Amino acid sequence: MRFVRVAAALLVCGVAAAQVGEKAGADSRRSAGYPSYQQANTLFVEKKFPEALNALDAALRLDPKLVPALTLKAKLAMALDRYDVARECLERAVAADPLSAYARFLYGFQFFKQNELPEAIQSLEKARQLDPKDPRPALYLGLAQESLGRTADALRSYREAIGLGEASGKLETDMLLSCSRLLLLLGDFEECGRLVARALKLDPKSRDAHFESARLRLKQGDGGAAAREGELALQFHTGDVSDRQVHFLLIQAYQSRGREGDAARHAVALRALEQQVQK
C-alpha cells in the first residue's frame, strides 16, 4: 500500500515525465526506446506501477540516455524507498540533458526527501533558473530553506510558488498551506487565515486545509471553531494529515471548551490507533 500511496503523491510532481522541455521531447520521440517509455508513462498514470517499471527497463535497454524514462524510473524508485536507484537515474538524466528543468527539479526533490538540504537547495535553484514559470521548484526550495531555519527566504519562496501557481493555473493547496503553516508559526494569524481560506475554497474536501484551519482557530482561542474544523477534517481521507493528528487536535479543542466527554471520545480513538501501530 505504501508503494501505491507514495507513487501517487509523486504523480502530482508531474503528470507526465516528458515535461522536460520541447527540444528534449523532440529528441526523445526519435529514440528507439520512446514507444516503450510511452507505454510506461500510460501505465504509471493508471497506477500500474510494476508493469510501468518493466516497460521502463525495456525503454532504457534500447536507449540508456532517454531522459523521460530516467526521470519516471526515478519517481518509481523513490516510491519504493530506493533513493540510490533514483539518484543514479537522475544523475544520468541531468548529464544527458543539462537543460532539463524537470530532471533537475526531481534531482533536488530526492535530495530534499533524503534531508540533504544544501544539495537540495542548489539543485532546486538551478531548476528554478531553467524554468522560471514552474511553481514546484520554488515550493520545495521554501520547504528546504524552512528546514534550515531560513524563514525569511522560505517565505519569499512560498510566495513565489503561490504567484507562479496562480499565473500558470497550477495553484495547489500545498503551496498555500506550506506558507500558512510558517505564518502560523511566526504568529501572523491574519495572513495565515487568508491563505487557509483560499486553500479551502480551492479544495473544500481537503483534510489538510480543514486541519490547518482548526489549528489556526485553536491558536486564536476559538476552541469551538477548531472542533468544527477538526471534525470536518476527520470526514475526509486525502492529504498528509493522519487520523492521529486530527484526534489529538480535537482532544485539545474540546478540552479548551470544557467538553470533556467529546475529548474523551477522541482520546479513546487515539489510543486505539496507537495500539494498532504497536501490534
Residue pLDDT, tens place only, 124-134: 999 999 999 99
Find the DSSP H helices in the chain.
Answer: 2-12, 22-29, 34-45, 49-62, 67-79, 83-96, 101-113, 117-130, 135-147, 151-168, 173-186, 189-202, 207-219, 223-235, 243-256, 260-278
Residue with cell 495565515: 192
Q: How many CA within 13 A on the CB side of residue 22? A: 0
pLDDT for the residue 190: 98
3-state SS assignment for residue 2: helix
Q: Could you report the per-residue pLDDT of 236-261, keeping only the tens digit for each? A: 998 899 999 999 999 999 999 999 99
pLDDT for the residue 25: 65
Which one of 20-34, 166-180, 264-278 scores highest in mean pLDDT? 166-180
The residue among 164, 115, 116, 111 whose CA lies nearest residue 136 is 164
Residue with cell 473544500: 204
- pTM for the predicted model, two decimal places: 0.88
Query: Which segment of 45-54, 88-97, 137-146, 218-227 scores lowest on mean pLDDT?
Result: 45-54
Q: What is the mean pLDDT of residues 195-204?
A: 98
pLDDT at 15 over 80: no
pLDDT at 182 over 50: yes
Residues ≥6 apart with Cβ < 8 Å to 164: 133, 134, 135, 138, 170
Q: What is the mean pLDDT of residues 136-159?
A: 98
- Do 200 and 213 contact (CB within 8 A), yes or no? yes
pLDDT at 279 over 80: no
pLDDT for the residue 13: 52
